[in-house]
Amino acid sequence: MDLLLRSIGLEPTHFDRRQKLLLLVRLIPLCEQNYNLVELGPRGTGKSYVYQELSPYVILLTGPTTVANMFYNMATGRMGLVGLWDAVAFDEVADLQKMPKEVVTTLKTYCESGTFARGKEALSGNASIAMFGNTNQPVEVMVRSSHLFLPLPDVIREDLAFLDRIHCYLPGWEIPKMHANFFTDHQGFVVDYLAEALRDLRRHNFTEIVDRYFSFGTHLNARDAKAVRKTAAGLIKLLYPHGDVTRDEMAELVTLAMEGRRRVKEQLKKLGSFEYHQTSFSYIDNDSRDERFVGVPEEGGHDLIATDPLAPGSVYISSVDDQARVSLYRLEVACAAGTGKLRVVGGIDSAMRESIQRAFAYIQGNKVQMGIAQAIATTDFHVEAIDLLTNRVSCDAGIGLVVALYSAIKKQQTLAGLLILGDLSIQGNIKKVRSLIEPLQMGMDNGARRALIPIENKRDLLEVPGDIMERVDSVFYGDPLTAAMKALGMN
């Protein structure tokens, strides 16, 4: 890794491991055929340097192009850039605003399959596509107020099908601006040799190596899996060109590859298309069957309801008060050896504390029927409620406590993106929710994918708008144990 960085002129001692990997991702289009990369970030981070100085087999475009120049000139019968070069890079992608729509349409087909049609000819190329652009706002502002494809020109940004063909979005804001002391005076490969080596690696196919150790989670469709495989294969070619990769090394590369692809999908989801809602990317260890979820760092805390499963004992709960104000809490239950006592920690208002204690009293009286009598007798439970909306609106927490406590005892996660509605009496009778519209709307806006709802509220779903019903699945329950079983995916 350090040798490669010194070969492109950078001193690796100034970068941490993540930054080194991100810098190497810039090289993937040089060693992997038909790879599509986007990097958007601040000015002065050296985005296009590799494509200008490193290889004679790469061309860097600094303005709009035409279909004839990019693909095939029917008048002269000459092949365009994608058939002549190993990689075609677009610098200052915002300048492509005046590029003909026909170029984007043809590029869209090319980025998917490496083929395109011109006149009567069906042609193909192996060139990778890289796009570089500058961000004008901090990433926190873009995440909060819009999306991370904002710097792209309209002709590209508005074409979701084209954006979906991007294999990796490199977070340019994580790479520091280049200073004179970042440049190395150590030895590296001669650039001519490195360019030839990278070109030779394009002939090899390392996309199947990931299958030795891992399989992909259910949220990755065929296009996602292809993107992750190609990014991981490119990194293997750079770091382990002999193809001998350990499980831990592969996990590191797959995590970075999934993050780069998930960043693309998260923006597509924000751009308003429901078909891109499945973004909980994960990979599964073939031996242990452990599933590991991969997030994107900049999205942390944006959607209050995580799309990945919470730890056992943690749930999201919501309710609406008589003034139509909505609450959203994360309820956490921790277990410790003890004698079956409940301790509520933190500043919880009296109505919510009552709701929690009432639910615990029900659990104590029905622990045998619930199959948790032994665990209740030998465990103390500590409960904390975190107000995610910070609006100090009280919440009915009864069913939420039953589910969280059951989850903690069983050491099993609740379903990902689950929002729990409803309360119960001391005898276990389910209390109807005042209104479904407000909590489900709030849940949808904050990332909920399904909601646990009392069966008594089923008729009220007729009042809920269709777009909410489409994006938040309704899961009904008629008693506390059924609620717990369904929340854990056991029923």
Residue 353 has pLDDT above 80, yes or no: yes
Percent of the chain with pLDDT over 90: 70
Per-residue pLDDT band for 119 (boundaries 50, 70, 90) equals confident
In this prediction, residues 38-54 reach a mean pLDDT of 92
pLDDT at site 21: 96
Note the pLDDT tens digit of each residue in 148-199: 999 998 888 888 999 999 999 999 999 999 999 999 999 999 999 999 999 9
Residue 346 has pLDDT above 80, yes or no: no
pLDDT at site 272: 63
Structure tokens belonging to residue 123: 């042609």
Percent of the chain with pLDDT over 70: 97
Q: What is the dihedral of CA 394, 396, 398, 403, to 10 degrees?
A: -90
Note the pLDDT tens digit of each residue in 276-334: 767 778 899 999 998 887 878 876 434 688 888 899 999 999 998 887 678 899 999 99
Residue 274 has pLDDT above 70, yes or no: no
* Mean pLDDT across the chain: 90
Note the pLDDT tens digit of each residue in 396-452: 999 999 999 999 999 999 999 999 999 999 889 999 999 998 889 888 878 899 999
